[in-house]
Chains A and B, each alone.
Chain A
Amino acid sequence: MNNPSISFGPDRQLQARMAITMLLLGVLYAVFVVFLLQLGAAFALIFVSVMVLIQFWMSDRMILATMHAKVVSEAEEPELHLMVTNLSTKAGIPKPRVAIANMAVPNAFAAGRSQKHATVAVTKGLVEMLTKSQLEAVLAHEISHIKSRDVQVMTYASFFAVVASSLMSFFFFMGLFGGFGGRRGGSGGSYIMVAYIVTIVVWVLSQILVATLSRYREFSADRGAASLTARPLELASALDRISSTVSKVPKNDLRKVETMNAFFIMPAIGDSLASFFSTHPSTMRRIEELRKLAASMK
């Protein structure tokens, strides 16, 4: 289990994509702030900022509570703690807290506002389903997120998406009840309409960019995990195993389906459109990338 780590070096293409995405987000947000200030909505901006800050400060406790996860001691889960200790030492970060969520669905996540206040959580379903080395690979992925400060980066990146989302509701109700008008030469109604449309556009674009950035950071965390464990294929097999329990590939035998003449209706939203807003890359692509890393080790 305690393998030496290996460095795959930075993926320049991935780094460039992340930089471009962040730059686009920066430009979008700058334009949005200027627009809000022009509109005289500085108060709304400050109010939402404070709310987001509080949310960020308490994020780990909130997520753990939502997921019904409990922080476990070394005495309760010695093996899990040993893995996290080894991986965080290799990654050069303080050891995060370890939590277990009492859920059958296999999953894992990292939370916390800083490396010092980080928590790594796994679900019971994940612990039961994976082998030790697969579990170690998944934990390494989460440790990589903490090392890269992904929680913070994504919080900053999605800050104005949250602002836009809040303002969308705000402008919608303002327009609905006819307020906000009259201050600017009697054209309040059209101002609200313009503000509403701009916030929708900003929200949609920021959602796409944030999701894109998130997908890149997932690839980056996979790469980091491969470096920490020196076994990219363990993470690939863990992802494969997890996805096989939740994927859309049918389980029913073709013979039974055809005998029953069961003709299923497809989901209305296509895969390509859904993937646009997805915060995680497809498992297949992640496995492909991990296979490439494994091949590069030979």
Chain B
Amino acid sequence: MWNLFGKGSLSNPSWNSSLAYLEENKTFIEVELATKNSGFAAVIVRAGEVGDAENFKNRIIDALRNHNEINVATVKFKDDELGTTWIFVEDQDLSQNLAGIGIIIHVLESNDLYDRLIGAIFPFDWFDSLREKSIRLYWIFQSRLNRFTPFVPVGDSEDRLRDQPLETRMEKAMRKRIPTEKKISEWYPIWGIPQLD
């Protein structure tokens, strides 16, 4: 589907090969690392011209209608305070979410909107037995790098705190399986990630 040309290499990935690696390691992520898909994923798109938002959404929806693989009703849009548009796909199955995200990026690409793509987020839930609480982890796919970076926000988004040791453990656990960015100076956060209602 979105992985038309097969996988690239870990060292020089394309956006679709990066997503393919995540798909391939679904079992490892969910079983070995005991992280559970949070039931949604989202593409993050930079704001365009003023007044362009509605037009942009309609173009995306129209384009998605042409894809039988994705149920447009499950695609939701949200705008945040930075004027960024979030396009959510919602499914309990990581494979379905990956397929949805892949189609949306493909649609952006074929409509000359790829340069607006900031990235995509893939949230997971993990139970920390030491602290005895569930933690929301994110793999952020950064389109500029075509790589994944870990992100674990802690507390309120106002606090702007992150669990760096856990992020490092995530990267170490996955670096041979998916294209991760090793330079921590590239591990940009996204504060106040919108959640689905």
Please report A residues at the B interface, Cβ cutoff 8 Å: 233, 236, 240, 243-244, 247-259, 263-264, 266, 283-284, 287-288, 291, 294-295
Answer whether residue B183 sits at the interface, using C-beta atoms and an 8 A cutoff: yes
Of A259, A263, A264, most B-chain CB atoms within 10 Å: A259
Of A250, A264, A295, most B-chain CB atoms within 10 Å: A250
Q: Is the CB of B46 within 8 A of A258?
A: yes
In this complex, how many residues of chain B approach chain A with their Cβ under 8 Å: the count is 30
What are 28 residue pairs bridging A and B, where the CB atoms are less than 8 Å apart in the complex?
Answer: A240-B164, A244-B162, A244-B164, A248-B185, A249-B167, A250-B186, A250-B188, A251-B160, A252-B188, A253-B189, A254-B118, A254-B140, A255-B46, A255-B80, A255-B82, A255-B84, A255-B118, A257-B188, A258-B46, A258-B118, A259-B118, A283-B164, A284-B164, A287-B165, A288-B169, A291-B130, A291-B165, A294-B130
Q: Supply 15 further A-B pairs (C-beta < 8 A) apart from A255-B190, A259-B47.
A: A240-B165, A248-B184, A249-B167, A249-B185, A249-B187, A250-B188, A251-B160, A252-B189, A253-B82, A253-B190, A255-B80, A258-B144, A259-B84, A284-B168, A291-B130
Nearest A residue to B44 by beta-carbon distance? Answer: A255
> A248, A250, A259: which contacts B82 (Cβ < 8 A)?
A259
In the complex with contacts A247-B164, A249-B162, A287-B165, A259-B190 CB distance below 8 A: no
Shortest Cβ gap from B141 to chain A (Å): 11
Q: Is the CB of B165 within 8 A of A254?
A: no
Q: Is the CB of B164 within 8 A of A243?
A: yes
On chain A, the residues within 8 Å of B144 by CB distance are: 258, 263
Distance in angstroms between the alpha carbons of A248 and B191 in the assembled complex: 17
Shortest Cβ gap from A230 to chain B (Å): 15
Q: Is the CB of A250 within 8 A of B164?
A: no
Distance in angstroms between the alpha carbons of A137 and B191 in the assembled complex: 30
On chain A, the residues within 8 Å of B189 by CB distance are: 250-254
Q: Is the CB of A250 within 8 A of B187?
A: yes
